[in-house]
Amino acid sequence: MKSISYLLLFLLLVEPPAQLHAQISEYEPITADNVERIQQIALLTHDSENTISQLTFHPSDRTLFSLAGVISLWDIETGSMLKELLLPTDYATSFSIHPNGNYLLYGGWDLTDHANFATLNHWNLNTDENTLLFREGNDDIEVITFNQDGKLYAAAGWDEKHTRVWKAKTDEMLVTLPGYAVRNLEFTQSNPLIVSGGETVVWDTERNMPVLSLDSPYVFQHPGLNAVFVRPNSSNQPYSMIDLERPDIAVPVGIDGSPFTFNTSGDLITIVYDGEIWLADFESGERLVAIGYYGGNFPPPIAFAPDGKYIAVPVGPGEIGIWGVPAL
């Protein structure tokens, strides 16, 4: 075991991260138990001058999708860009990949009629074919998300700031929620929709009514529990975990920083503290390792791979760091 450890140390000193990554075939999921071994395995450099606003892994392979006005695909095995999607729009504002991995939905600008229109589009990842689903308003689509089985999707934005929910199979619109600025949008395990902005509403999409309202600008769902993680608008208040089945019960959680993304097992959470992105132990709140930097508007673009073995974070202007834990 010591000889293997010495060999790994030697490789770290003499090999660049992308080449090292190609030599190590198996990575463990990043957990609180092995986070001290996490290392940057690739550095991706984006050519666009626009800020990287979203990072998402493909649900079934190790391709990373990034958004910086255009949507780019990256091979994290080599650290190279595979391609940019040639979307029929001047500027993409948000996107979400369907759980089956065959297509994505993206929001963009349509300037074809000498005016700005917010558009929602379907892009086939196998054929690179685009289908315009909706075009209206003159503001951006801020966020798009699918539910866990991919049967529903929601998008927030346009000039009225409405949030809308559709059936994915037919693109039939089911629900239109009252409008306000939205920063975070996600379905719970039982399919109510969490809409976070200046305030947060948990909306029952079947009954078309709110089931919970919270005085919190950001709300994040724990991946292993039917619960949300919140803090009131007053920054002096502690974070709390609220069980969606018992919303009257709030359990304080000791996190020092601004939390954003859980790993797949829910024992680690990324936080931003003084501009640095850290991995922190969710139960204790202890900051464990700094993995990136973010100086833009919140929430920052952070993505865990579906298998939990990689995390992508911004590490500088136009740069994306890929981190993983090697198997020894």
Closest CA to 142 of 167, 166, 118: 118
Q: What angle do CA 241, 243, 248 make, to 5 degrees?
A: 95
- How far apart, in whole angstroms, are the C-alpha atoms of residue 267 and residue 143? 26
Closest CA to 228 of 254, 251, 198, 197: 251
SS3 232: coil
- Chain-centroid distance of CA 57 in Å reads 9
Q: Are 122 and 103 in contact (CB under 8 A)?
A: yes
Report the pLDDT value the prediction gives residue 165, as an integer from 0 to 100: 92
Report the pLDDT value the prediction gives residue 22, as an integer from 0 to 100: 42
- How far apart, in whole angstroms, are the C-alpha atoms of residue 73 and residue 84? 6
Report the pLDDT value the prediction gives residue 37, as an integer from 0 to 100: 93
Report the pLDDT value the prediction gives residue 159, as an integer from 0 to 100: 61
Sheet of 287-293, strands arranged across: 258-262, 268-273, 276-281, 287-293
Contact residues for 193 (Cβ-Cβ < 8 A; gap 6+): 154, 163, 165, 177, 185, 186, 187, 202, 203, 205
Q: Which residue has the tokens 């949300």?
A: 228
First to last CA, the chain: 8
Per-residue pLDDT of the chain (328 residues; tens, 9 = 90+): 334 333 333 333 334 444 444 444 578 899 999 999 999 989 998 776 678 889 999 998 789 999 988 899 999 888 889 999 998 877 888 999 999 999 999 998 766 554 567 789 999 999 999 999 987 766 678 889 999 999 999 998 766 678 889 999 999 998 888 766 777 888 988 888 888 776 788 888 888 888 888 877 777 788 888 888 877 665 567 788 888 778 777 888 878 777 778 998 899 999 888 889 999 998 888 999 999 988 776 678 999 999 999 999 988 888 899 999 986 6
The burial class, CB within 10 Å (0-12 / 13-18 / 19+), for 91 is middle
**Complete DSSP assignment for 253-316:** E---SEEEEE-TTSSEEEEEETTEEEEEETTT--EEEEEEE--SSSSP--EE-TTSSEEEEEEE
Helix intervals (H) in the chain? 2-14, 17-23
- How far apart, in whole angstroms, are the C-alpha atoms of residue 259 and residue 241? 12
Q: What is the pTM of this model?
A: 0.86
For 308, left (φ over 0), alpha (ψ -120 to 50), or beta?
Answer: left
Residue 55 forms beta bridges with which residues?
Answer: 66
